[in-house]
Amino acid sequence: MDLAGGLPGVRLHTGALHASTSDAALTSMTLLNEIAGRFPDAVSFAAGRPYEGFYDVAGLGRHLDTFERHLRDEVGLDPEAVRRTFFQYGRTKGFIHHLIARHLEIDEQLTVEAESVLVTTGCQEAMVLVLRALRTDARDVVFAAYPAYVGFLGATRLVDMPVRSVREGPDGIDVADLEGKIQQARAEGLRPRACYVVPDFANPSGATMPAADRRRLLDLAERENVLLLEDNPYSLFHPGGERLPTLKSLDTGQRVVYFGSFAKTAFAGARVGYVVADQSVVDGGLFADELAKLKSMLTLNTSSVAQAVIGGILLENGCSMERATVREAQVYRGNLRAVLTALEEQFGAGSPMAGSGVSWNTPRGGMFAVVTLPFRADDAMLEYSASRFGVLWTPMHHFYAGDGGFHQIRLSFSVLTPEQIRLGIDRLAALVADHT
């Protein structure tokens, strides 16, 4: 900490603070929010928030009651033990792990031991814990398909863990490219530890990995001796019909560390997520127990009230979050159709703007789609789009840590109505017309 000038009081120089505080990958999100904040009347495809139309404040008390009854009548705790569960320092690994294991069984056909589940302060804490555990010195490195979720990039910055980017195609991560990148890192004297993937309806790309690629990825992980960090916040917002298996459910060799979230299925404010870490530790227990040691220095335990509310929601829905989110899933499916229909009408074959060089992907579910534009779509263009045409979106280059995606934008459609979506795509078309 340096003192600047003769002014009274401490003044900290940013150079005297950890580098992540000035990392572009993270400060850019603040900038985007700032731009969005200046145009409250624009149609916003920028907000990655879940739909909030079905939230009910009065429900919170009910969820707490449900969980209290469960502790008393099903778990069989006496009143003192119930009180302690709600109010005291608690089990570091959390107290809704059995319910989470049941939810995974029901909603993902994924069988895990409750003891391998660590409940965390949102999935974000889980990512930090896993990266912190795997980062022993400067040689440890992780991999991620780019474009990548900024929360994961942020977590790597926080623990000073370098990330190597892997190509992503329409079908998700390019497994052959990952293999090359791992071997290259090893040749440089680095220690490849893990690869981060969102196999279902990724944020930001909306891409989904085919089943064959999932198996190839697991084989590669085995061959190259790395872990796979599977993040699965969106799988329940699928198109219906047969679903693809999670990596974790195909994982016979404990290669996969599985991140789960209640942010999109229950609610984001609770800050309850989890990680399944069933790897065994030589002379120890489970990887989940090692992560719990780290958690005991970071947040001690996940908020009891937050866990109890999520526990109540699980119990009220027979531990099926698919059942709990039937209405939201319908909204997201309808909105995805509205986005793809409007894009087709504005830019598709036979449309007035056919041949203008606009293309897009067709996600099968989730909350995001990606549009490629025939011009540079950076933060300056976003500001122009908002001020002149009243439509907000997210420049994709933010998900490439500034290294790509300059002609692409992410459309997030979770909080909009189909009417707003049509209006927004009309406005996007006007922006394109202005530039072609």
Binding to a copy of itself, residues 63-102 (CB under 8 A): 64-65, 68, 80, 82-90
Q: What is the DSSP string of 167-223?
A: -EETTEE-HHHHHHHHHHHHHTT-EEEEEEE--SS-TTT-----HHHHHHHHHHHHH
Residue from 99, 101, 104, 309 binding a copy of itself (CB under 8 A): 309
| Among 52, 113, 171, 188, contact with a copy of itself (rule: CB under 8 A) | 52
What type of residue sits at position 128?
A: V
Distance CA 340, CA 342 (A): 6
The reply on whether position 38 binds a copy of itself by CB under 8 A is no
Bridge partners, 359 (sequence order): 372
8 A C-beta contact, residue 123 and residue 334: no
Q: What stretch of H or E contains 38?
A: helix 24-38
Q: By CB under 8 A, tell whether 315 contacts a copy of itself.
A: no
Complex with a copy of itself: residue 92 or 232, whichever CB lies closer? 92
| Contact of 362 with 370, CB cutoff 8 Å | no
143, 201, 267, 389: residue in contact with a copy of itself (rule CB under 8 A): 267
List all residues 6 or more positions away from 112 whose beta carbon is below 8 Å from its beta carbon.
101, 104, 248, 258, 276, 278
Q: Give the one residue of 115, 139, 151, 245 binding a copy of itself; rule: CB under 8 A.
A: 151
Q: Is 176 in the site for a copy of itself (CB under 8 A)?
A: no
Nearer to a copy of itself, 361 or 420 (CB): 420
Interacting positions 186-225 with a copy of itself (CB under 8 A): 193, 225
Q: Which of residues 330-359 bind a copy of itself (CB under 8 A)?
A: none
Among positions 105, 115, 299, 345, the unique one binding a copy of itself when judged by CB under 8 A? 299
Query: Which listed residue (108, 213, 230, 290) binds a copy of itself by CB under 8 A?
Result: 290
CB of 94 to a copy of itself, least distance (A): 11
Residues of span 120-149 touching a copy of itself by CB under 8 A: 121-122, 124-125, 128, 132-136
Nearest distance in Å: CB 145, a copy of itself: 19
Binds a copy of itself by CB under 8 A, chosen from 24, 31, 38, 61? 61
Q: Which of 70, 181, 271, 397 binds a copy of itself (CB under 8 A)?
A: 271
Taking a C-beta distance cutoff of 8 angstroms, is the pair 250, 269 a contact? no
Alpha helix (H) ranges present in 361-402? 379-384
> What values do phi and psi take at 255, rounded to 5?
-85, -20
Query: How far is the C-alpha of 277 from the C-alpha of 275, rounded, in Å?
Result: 6
